[in-house]
Amino acid sequence: MSTSPSYSYVNTRGYSDDNGYDDSNEKIPSVNWQPYQEMNVLTPLEKMRMDALNKTKDVEKITQTVIEVQLVWSMNAREYVELLIKLLYSIHQDVTLKYVLQLIDLLFDNSPKFLREFHQARNDNPYTPFLRLLTKTDVYMVEKCVKSLTALFSQDVEIHTQELGAFLEVITNQLEQGDKDERRAKMCVHALMVLLRKDECRTLFYTARGVPPLISLLKYYSGDAQMLYETIFCIWLLSFNKNSVEHVRGENLSAKIHEVLKTQQKEKVIRVSLSTIKNLIKNNIKFINDLINVSVPRTLLNLQKRNFEDKDILDDLKVLIDLMEVHIDEMSSFDEYRQEALSGHLEWSPVHTSEKFWKENLNKFEQNNFYILRELIKCLDSEVPQTKAIACHDLGQFVRYYPRGKKLIEDLGAKVKIIELMEYGNDEVRKHALLCTQKIMIQNWEMLNIGV
């Protein structure tokens, strides 16, 4: 994939999707504007202009009416925009506000000129009237505001970073409710599919702490192929920003996207997942270690056996499989392992989880009276939980593959330490201490239905 995003994945016109809500053909109600004239909210001329829209119900006729109104009253589009913005500020009844918001939405969708004029309104700040309405509890009104703001910001984001930042904070807050409110979650994802095309938006989005709740959607909607596709598309867009990649990596994305690859049948979901992985690796090579540690290479090999209609998927699979095999070979050297063990600071990398490494290098642990094994046992006393966990894991691997491994571990005093770590105050340490203990205790470790 090129360094510049290509957006062939998705139709960005509007918000409709396979499962989503689409009101582009919905009839809009009439509004009695007379009381608003009597309250001096509208002038007589403004009331006449709004009444003209009450004569028709569908979007095509409304759009044509707007054009005709402009011609009849020598009124340019900017004046019509100002009238609608005035109504957004002046009206407090939800029913009438819904009418105005839906009218603006329909005009944005069907009149590019109207959208451009609206974008240039109110001293080049057309965002405020929508931002102030985002506090409404009515989800329909919030949807319309989010959609309109997305359309406006897609015109230009460079100048109004303060307003855009405020909008993305709202999106983040809505995403945090994504496990409880599917409609709001989809509303936010649809907006991000448009907004994250611009790098300024990517930076502001991770600054607003939007990455964690976005990635959480992969868990909440694991059975919704369309939602998975759209969420991963947003992550793919984020992957073009190197700073965003670090935030994405910190949310354990490797395990979540691995689960998608294992369970999803939809080709478009697999395609966008593979493209995302390629881009993440390109912008942060450490991500490849994360993928290897959760057994993604094995899943990619299984996917390679499927008969995909989209041949690009097979091409991406080959590229990723080859890349990971090279990386595993490079990282699976005993010299590198020795240096890491002697440093007393262990990090998850392919060398720890590679069966090939343990099978090919097991005898090297015998060198100098098992001094590398002794250094590994010292790591059990580290103050860093990750180092403790990896030491437990590696000692379990040694027990698994080395014929006298159990006796050596016990003679060197490691068994007692590992058992004690089963009650340590860290989930990862407890998990690997338990697995290691099981391997020490069991006569035939293959009876364990666990990962190694």
- At residue 416 the predicted structure's pLDDT band, cuts being 50, 70 and 90, is very high
Q: Is the pLDDT of residue 101 over 90?
A: yes
* C-alpha closest to that of 157 among 167, 146, 172: 167
Give the mean model confidence (pLDDT) for residues 298-322: 94
**Any domain includes 132:** yes
- Contact, 185 vs 175, CB < 8 A? yes
- At residue 72 the predicted structure's pLDDT band, cuts being 50, 70 and 90, is very low
Q: Is the pLDDT of residue 124 over 70?
A: no
**Any domain includes 184:** no
Q: What are the distances in angstroms from CA 52 to CA 26, 55, 89, 153, 393?
A: 19, 6, 21, 29, 74
Same domain, 233 and 281: yes
Instruction: Tell me the C-alpha distance between 211 and 208, whole Å.
Output: 8
CB atoms within 10 A of CB 119: 19
Same domain, 33 and 150: yes
Token pair belonging to 106: 């329909």
Same domain, 26 and 148: yes
The SS3 call for residue 210 is coil
Same domain, 382 and 311: no
pLDDT on residue 14? 42
**Any domain includes 367:** yes
Question: pLDDT digit string (tens) for 248-291?
Answer: 887 889 999 999 999 999 999 999 999 999 999 998 888 888 89
Same domain, 135 and 28: yes
The SS3 call for residue 154 is helix
End-to-end CA distance of the chain: 34
Concatenating the DSSP letter of every residue in 55-93 gives T--SHHHHHHHHHHHHHHTT--HHHHHHHHHHHHHH---
**Any domain includes 327:** no
C-alpha torsion 131→132→134→137, nearest 10? -170
**Any domain includes 177:** no
Instruction: Tell me the C-alpha distance between 401 and 397, whole Å.
Output: 6
Question: pLDDT digit string (tens) for 184-194?
Answer: 999 999 999 99
Q: What are the distances in angstroms from CA 346 to CA 349, 350, 384, 395, 451?
A: 9, 12, 9, 13, 19
Domain boundary among 295, 320, 345: 320
Same domain, 339 and 308: no
Host domain of residue 82: 14-156
pTM comes to 0.72
Distance of CA 338 to the CA centre of its chain: 37
- At residue 158 the predicted structure's pLDDT band, cuts being 50, 70 and 90, is low
Q: What is the 3-state secondary structure (H, E, C) of 369-415?
A: HHHHHHHHHHHHHCCCHHHHHHHHHHHHHHHHHCCCHHHHHHHCCHH
DSSP 216: H
**Which helix (H) or strand (E) element contains residue 40?**
none
**Any domain includes 89:** yes
Phi, psi of 7 (to 5 degrees): -110, 40
Give percent of the chain with pLDDT exceeding 70.
Answer: 84
* C-alpha closest to that of 53 among 82, 74, 23, 84: 84
Token pair belonging to 190: 């649809």
Domain boundary among 290, 320, 350: 320
Q: Is the pLDDT of residue 121 over 80?
A: no
Domain containing residue 72: CATH number: 1.25.10
Q: Is the pLDDT of residue 11 over 70?
A: no
Give the mean model confidence (pLDDT) for residues 297-306: 93
Domain containing residue 238: CATH number: 1.25.10.10
Same domain, 69 and 35: yes
DSSP 132: G
Same domain, 298 and 382: no
* C-alpha closest to that of 125 among 166, 90, 92: 166
Domain tally for the chain? 3
**Any domain includes 294:** yes
Same domain, 374 and 311: no
Same domain, 25 and 116: yes
Domain boundary among 111, 132, 156: 156
Phi, psi of 86 (to 5 degrees): -55, -40
Question: pLDDT digit string (tens) for 362-389?
Answer: 889 998 899 999 999 999 999 999 999 9
Domain containing residue 365: CATH number: 1.25.40.150
Same domain, 342 and 380: yes
The SS3 call for residue 316 is helix
More confident residue, 151 or 159: 151
Same domain, 118 and 33: yes
- At residue 408 the predicted structure's pLDDT band, cuts being 50, 70 and 90, is very high
- At residue 60 the predicted structure's pLDDT band, cuts being 50, 70 and 90, is low
**Any domain includes 8:** no
